[in-house]
Amino acid sequence: MTTQQLEERLTTLEQEMVVLRMLVEKQEEKRSPKPWWEKIAGSFADDPSFDEAERLGREWRATATDDWQD
């Protein structure tokens, strides 16, 4: 077998391995599915944009509550 043939075979095997890994990951997700919120929990940690959105949400809720009480 030539070096070129070995390289082609290795490339094919690597591509097949990627597909197999994806299939295994999908099967593992089916066995122990996590709720979507657990998958993204913590992804906004230390994010100034999220902190600002949270502050604005609190501000809006405080204003909306004041309007309802009048």
- Asked whether residue 22 is assigned to any structural domain, the reply reads yes
Range of the domain at 11: 3-31+45-69
Q: Which two tokens stand for residue 58?
A: 């609190």
- Asked whether residue 38 is assigned to any structural domain, the reply reads no
Q: Give 2's DSSP letter.
A: -
Helix, strand, coil distribution of the chain in percent, nearest 5: 80, 0, 20
- Asked whether residue 36 is assigned to any structural domain, the reply reads no
- Asked whether residue 24 is assigned to any structural domain, the reply reads yes
Total structural domains in the chain?
1
Site of tokens 């919120």: 37
Q: Provide the terminal-to-terminal Cα distance of the chain, rounded to the nearest Å.
A: 86
- Asked whether residue 64 is assigned to any structural domain, the reply reads yes
Q: What is the pTM of this model?
A: 0.42
Tell me: the pLDDT tens digits for 6-55?
999 999 999 999 999 999 988 887 777 788 888 889 898 999 999 999 99
Q: How far is CA 43 from CA 39, 51, 55, in A?
A: 9, 12, 18
